[in-house]
Amino acid sequence: MPYRSALTIIMLSAIVAVGCGLYAYFIPLTGVTGTWGPLAAAFGALCTLIGGVLMVMARHRSQRFLLMSLLALGIVLTAFATYLLHQWVMLTALGVGALGWLGAVSGPEGDRV
């Protein structure tokens, strides 16, 4: 998978995850309405989105390595939080983001310039 396409998948899945987190916080009868858990998960997804944007701008291999490591950590920890919150749509979105991360790591380096 091309590098930029993989980053697009990461960013789109993070946008969906932020929306799901805010939905769980504000809409009644989600089981976690008004608690800090969905806001924390939405913040983690927002950090994943920001990391994806920074990855697009990263030029050096060391920057990409650091950001990819932080993105992996953010995706995994946010997915764990959404698992504990029973927010399955958000967890699915983060799973798609993890697949995009795998595509970015294993994709060709030709379009990273």
Could you report how far apart the first and last alpha carbons of the chain are, in Å? 16
> What pLDDT score does 110 carry?
54
Unique residue bearing structure tokens 């899945």: 13
Half-sphere exposure of 113 (CA within 13 A, CB side): 2
What is residue 14's predicted lDDT score, i.e. its pLDDT?
97
Rounded to an integer, what distance in angstroms lies between the CA atom of residue 45 and that of residue 90? 9
The tens-digit pLDDT sequence of the chain (113 residues) is: 788 899 999 999 999 999 999 999 999 998 899 999 999 999 999 999 999 999 999 888 899 999 999 999 999 999 999 999 999 999 999 999 999 999 999 977 655 54
Q: Hey, which bits of 2-86 come out as E strands? A: none
State how far the Cα of 31 lies from the Cα of 85, in Å rounded to an integer: 9
Domain ranges of the chain: 3-28+43-106
0.75 exceeded by pTM: yes
Q: Are 22 and 38 in contact (CB under 8 A)?
A: yes
